[in-house]
């Protein structure tokens, strides 16, 4: 059995954290392939090594002296090495990095050194082989991940190696230069390694015990989610509940490998299992609640709208023309509403209104700002009667005015629009009605 384990930055921020990680890996022989992030924050005022690298490289690019900030980065690693009582020396590596910075090797190269160096330390600490990800993870000329080439090279490589450390976040372009995924991309590397090694599970170790039913900044001590499907997770992450880089799902999902989100600081906790499908009933009717503030509702009215062929297309074209993406679109008989992101819309408001007038000639256009959208997500809602009724009665009891309702045809989610000011209270009311009653 093979388990791939990825550790996030906070799990590897200091020698103490490294020791916890070492214990976790040694506790299970199946944990054969390890994907580390760069050292993260040791406390809330600290700076992630990746951010230090970007800042240091920015100086190099401007031709300024970057020696002091680069030494500070080296100090971070040296304190881990000393704390673990290792003999590893990064002196040569830092000489090379300094030379490469002078040659302006690029910000991707700079940022990737965070995981690269942490990988060297990790491999030494565990006695595992170190594999430079630039030799096994590939991108095409346009910087898109090359899944086929990577899977071929990486699976062949791993087939002959019992235990290895493969740093997260980067790979190489066809010309050999280092290229990174977007921020948080070590999650993707973990998923790629899990697929290539035909792992039975991808354990993603972080600093929370998995996904929670609601945001802990809004609901104190929310219940954890034990099992969630990829689709549910996608709905919740889209609405702001992020535990994992969005793109990390694809490689393992295709291969049918579950992801287990675990907590390095609480290794006994089971965490959350992310799976393709499950017959396990969720603990409550709903799996999770998430939401975002800052939407505008563009209400468009026109008599006999429903009889006019092509009206919706013309109205939507007004948004497309101005490069505005659309979030939701509930409609009535002679009215349709388009929800858009306030920040994106504000600067283009009048252009959109005039495009709408020209293209769709509606009777009334009415704009309503400062709205929030809340997604109530759950595979269990399909078979439960009265879910919507319970949501709306909870909101009514909390004195919250519902401005919009949209239920996806998959019955996996119900989206509710409320005013920004009611956002937190609405989430709490919905959480309470399902979770506090345990139904």
**Would you tell me which residues interact with ligand ASP (CB under 6 A)?**
9, 37-38, 48, 50, 114, 168-169, 183-187
DSSP string for 224-271: BPSEEEHHHHHHHHHTT--SS-GGGHHHHHHHT--EEEEETT-TTS--
How far apart (Å, rounded) are the C-alpha atoms in residues 360 and 315? Answer: 5
Q: Which is nearer to ligand ASP, 33 or 339 (CB)?
A: 33
- DSSP 8-state symbol, 138: B
Q: Which is nearer to ligand ASP, 186 or 260 (CB)?
A: 186
Q: Which is nearer to ligand ASP, 36 or 417 (CB)?
A: 36
Q: Give me 415's structure tokens.
A: 């989206």
Q: Which is nearer to ligand ASP, 76 or 302 (CB)?
A: 76
How far apart (Å, rounded) are the C-alpha atoms in residues 362 and 376? Answer: 32
Closest approach, Cβ 85 to ligand ASP, in A, equals 25
Q: Which is nearer to ligand ASP, 35 or 416 (CB)?
A: 35
Closest approach, Cβ 7 to ligand ASP, in A, equals 10
Q: Which is nearer to ligand ASP, 113 or 390 (CB)?
A: 113
Residue nearest to ligand ASP (CB): 186
Buried b (16+ CB within 10 A) or exposed e, 157-170: bbeeeeebbbbbbb
Question: Nearest-CA neighbor of 290 among 346, 227, 336, 225?
Answer: 225
Closest approach, Cβ 107 to ligand ASP, in A, equals 12
Closest approach, Cβ 128 to ligand ASP, in A, equals 19
Closest approach, Cβ 98 to ligand ASP, in A, equals 20
Closest approach, Cβ 272 to ligand ASP, in A, equals 18
Closest approach, Cβ 54 to ligand ASP, in A, equals 9
Residues 6+ apart with CB under 8 A from 299: 335, 336, 337, 364, 365, 366, 367, 368
> Listing from the earlier edge strand, what are the strands of the sheet with 335-341?
326-328, 335-341, 288-301, 364-377, 413-419, 404-407
∠ CA 275-428-247 to the nearest 5 degrees? 30
How far apart (Å, rounded) are the C-alpha atoms in residues 158 and 311? Answer: 56
- DSSP 8-state symbol, 419: E
Q: Which is nearer to ligand ASP, 184 or 271 (CB)?
A: 184
Q: Which is nearer to ligand ASP, 110 or 214 (CB)?
A: 110
Closest approach, Cβ 247 to ligand ASP, in A, equals 11
How far apart (Å, rounded) are the C-alpha atoms in residues 405 and 57? Answer: 48
Closest approach, Cβ 181 to ligand ASP, in A, equals 7
Q: Which is nearer to ligand ASP, 274 or 316 (CB)?
A: 274
DSSP string for 78-94: HHHHHHTT-----HHHH
Residues 6+ apart with CB under 8 A from 178: 105, 106, 108, 109, 112, 134, 170, 171, 172
Closest approach, Cβ 144 to ligand ASP, in A, equals 18
List helix spans (H) across 142-184.
147-159
Q: Which is nearer to ligand ASP, 9 or 119 (CB)?
A: 9
Q: Which is nearer to ligand ASP, 206 or 355 (CB)?
A: 206
Closest approach, Cβ 359 to ligand ASP, in A, equals 41
3-state secondary structure of 32: strand
3-state secondary structure 318-366: HHHHCCCCEEECCECCCEEEEEEEHHHHHCCHHHHHHHHHHHHCCCEEE
């Amino acid at each position: 059995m093979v388990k791939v384990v990825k550790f996030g930055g906070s799990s590897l921020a200091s020698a103490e954290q490294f020791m916890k990680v070492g214990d976790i890996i040694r506790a299970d022989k199946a944990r054969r392939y390890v994907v580390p992030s760069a050292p993260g924050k040791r406390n809330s005022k600290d700076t992630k090594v990746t951010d230090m690298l970007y800042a240091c490289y920015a100086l190099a690019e401007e031709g300024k002296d970057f020696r002091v900030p680069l030494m500070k980065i080296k100090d971070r690693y040296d304190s881990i090495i000393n704390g673990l009582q290792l003999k590893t020396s990064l002196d040569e590596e830092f000489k090379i990095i300094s030379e490469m910075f002078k040659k302006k090797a690029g910000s991707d190269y700079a940022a990737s050194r965070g995981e690269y160096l942490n990988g060297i330390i990790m491999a030494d600490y565990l006695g595992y082989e170190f594999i430079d990800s630039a030799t096994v993870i590939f991108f095409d000329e346009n910087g898109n991940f090359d899944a086929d080439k990577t899977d071929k090279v990486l699976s062949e490589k791993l087939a002959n190696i019992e235990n290895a450390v493969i740093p997260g976040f980067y790979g190489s372009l066809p010309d050999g230069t280092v290229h990174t995924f977007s921020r948080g991309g070590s999650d993707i590397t973990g998923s790629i390694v899990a697929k290539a090694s035909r792992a039975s599970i991808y354990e993603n170790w972080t600093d929370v015990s998995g996904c929670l039913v609601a945001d802990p900044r809004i609901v104190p001590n929310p219940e954890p989610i034990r099992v969630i499907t990829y689709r549910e997770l996608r709905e919740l992450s889209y609405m702001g509940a992020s535990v994992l880089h969005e793109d990390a799902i694809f490689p393992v999902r295709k291969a049918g490998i579950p992801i287990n989100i675990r907590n390095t600081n609480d290794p006994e906790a089971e965490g959350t299992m992310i799976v393709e499908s499950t017959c396990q009933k969720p603990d409550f009717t709903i799996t999770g609640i998430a939401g975002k503030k800052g939407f505008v509702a563009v209400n468009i009215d026109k008599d006999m709208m429903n009889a006019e062929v092509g009206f919706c297309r013309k109205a939507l074209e007004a948004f497309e023309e101005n490069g505005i993406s659309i979030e939701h679109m509930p409609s009535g008989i002679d009215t349709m509403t388009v929800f858009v992101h306030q920040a994106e819309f504000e600067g283009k408001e009048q252009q959109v209104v005039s495009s709408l007038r020209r293209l769709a000639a509606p009777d009334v256009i009415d704009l309503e700002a400062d709205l929030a959208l809340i997604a109530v997500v759950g595979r269990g809602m399909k078979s439960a009667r009265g879910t919507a009724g319970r949501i709306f009665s909870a909101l009514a009891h909390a004195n919250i005015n519902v401005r919009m309702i949209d239920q996806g045809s998959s019955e996996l989610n119900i989206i509710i629009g409320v005013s920004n000011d009611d956002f937190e209270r609405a989430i709490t009311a919905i959480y309470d009605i399902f979770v506090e009653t345990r139904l």
